[in-house]
């Protein structure tokens, strides 16, 4: 997809105009065939740039930087680290959804709120995707009894023990309904996926395309705006969503766990990103 299929390009250019020049198209004298591709780990230090990137840029004149994540870690590097205002601007002040996509997300959020009238329009978002739960690295790991992922049954039990009642409205990032999710819907009947709350006239564009990036974007923005977010699986989506929620002033992020008794307190399961204020976003939002 093109960047402007999803994001507001004019907003991006205007927000960064005093920091860096952004152009819509490559200059005529620049050929894609002549651009060196440089893979750079996320959040590298200035010394890394001087050693590994500057020489290539000076030699080639143009480079294309691609970022990858060796580990999923968006914690602050140190308590005394100086905040980089450019990074904060780029992460939280330059990206807005393209109007049509934003309107779609807003309409889906309003449908969830409509289903939640008895609870004042409050709803939960759960990042739970069956295809990831089935992968090898999504099983028990680390200390005895610790888990990295939680399935629908485990999430349902976790929420019930925390006191969420059967009238709770839940949004799942799972693309399409799977039978393994039935137990969650049995306990929380108001559980929805994209296909059940997206307007029917929008599905052909935003939901029925193979490997559509639209779906990831919709999940991210709904999960960021929900009253409570529950990451049933770890990873970059969880870390990025927490960052966005910090920026929006929505700290209710509950990390699942096995509760041994019959009940538990939500405050005991707040994400460490929030409870310890160690997410990178806290460098931008005190």
Distance (Å, whole) CA 244 – CA 223? 9
The answer, yes or no, to whether residue 104 has pLDDT greater than 90, is yes
Residues 195 and 272 both lie in one domain:
yes
Q: Which domain holds residue 9?
A: 3-80
Mean pLDDT, the chain, integer: 89
Is a pLDDT exceeding 70 seen at residue 266? yes
Q: Would you place residue 32 in the very low, low, confident or very high pLDDT band (cuts 50, 70, 90)?
A: confident
83 — pLDDT class (breaks 50, 70, 90): low
With 0.95 as the threshold, say if the pTM is over it.
no
Domain limit, last residue, from 46, 80, 114: 80
Query: For residue 176, which of 194, 190, 191, 188 has the smallest C-alpha distance?
Result: 194
Rounded mean pLDDT, 246-274: 94
List pLDDT tens digits, range 106-149: 999 999 999 998 888 899 999 999 988 887 677 655 454 567 89
Q: Which residue has the tokens 């920026």?
A: 247
Burial 25-61 (b: 16+ CB within 10 A, else e): eeeeeeeeeeeeeeeeeeeeeeeeeeeebeeeeeeee
- Give me 174's structure tokens: 């799972």
What b/e readout covers 149-170, taking b as 16+ CB neighbours within 10 angstroms? bbbbebbbbbbbbbebeeebbb
Specify the pLDDT at position 74. Answer: 76
| CATH number of the domain where residue 123 is located | 3.40.50
**pLDDT the model gives residue 82:** 55
Look at residue 87 and tell me if it is in a domain.
Answer: no
pLDDT at residue 90 in the model: 86
How many domains, the chain? 2
What pLDDT is stored for residue 30 in this prediction? Answer: 81
Q: pLDDT tens digits, residue range 212-225? A: 789 999 999 999 99
Pairing, β 36-41 against β 228-231: unpaired
DSSP per residue over 193-250, as a string? -HHHHS-GGGHHHHTSSTT-HHHHHHHHHHHHHSSEEEESS-SHHHHHHHHHHHHHT-
Query: Based on the domain organization, do 51 and 179 belong to the same domain?
Result: no
Once rounded to an integer, what is the mean pLDDT over residues 224-239? 94
- Count the neighbouring beta carbons within 10 Å of the beta carbon of residue 130: 17
Check residue 199 and give its pLDDT: 92
């Amino acid at each position: 997809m093109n960047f402007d299929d999803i994001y507001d390009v004019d907003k991006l250019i205007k927000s960064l105009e005093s920091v860096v020049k952004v152009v819509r198209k490559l200059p005529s004298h620049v050929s894609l065939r002549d651009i060196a591709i440089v893979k750079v780990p996320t959040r590298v230090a200035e010394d890394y740039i001087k050693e590994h990137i500057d020489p290539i840029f000076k030699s080639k004149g143009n480079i294309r930087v691609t970022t990858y994540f060796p580990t999923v870690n968006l914690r602050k590097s140190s308590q005394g680290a100086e905040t980089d205002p450019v990074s904060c601007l780029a992460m939280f002040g330059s990206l807005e959804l393209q109007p049509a996509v934003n309107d779609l997300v807003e309409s889906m959020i309003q449908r969830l709120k409509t289903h939640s009238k008895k609870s004042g329009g409050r709803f939960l978002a759960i990042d739970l995707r069956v295809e990831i739960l089935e992968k090898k690295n999504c099983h028990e790991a680390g200390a005895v009894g610790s888990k990295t992922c939680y399935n629908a049954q485990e999430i349902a039990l976790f929420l019930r023990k925390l006191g969420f009642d059967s009238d709770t409205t839940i949004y799942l990032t799972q693309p399409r309904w799977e039978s393994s999710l039935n137990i969650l819907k049995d306990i929380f009947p108001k559980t929805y996926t994209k296909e059940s709350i997206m307007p029917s006239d929008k599905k052909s564009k935003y939901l029925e395309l193979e490997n559509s990036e639209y779906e990831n974007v919709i999940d991210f923005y709904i999960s960021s705006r929900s009253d409570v977010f529950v990451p049933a699986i770890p990873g970059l989506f969880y870390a990025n969503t927490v960052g966005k929620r910090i920026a929006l002033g929505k700290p209710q992020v509950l990390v699942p766990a096995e509760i041994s008794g019959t009940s538990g307190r939500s405050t005991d399961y707040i994400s460490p990103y929030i409870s310890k204020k160690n997410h990178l976003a806290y460098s931008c939002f005190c």
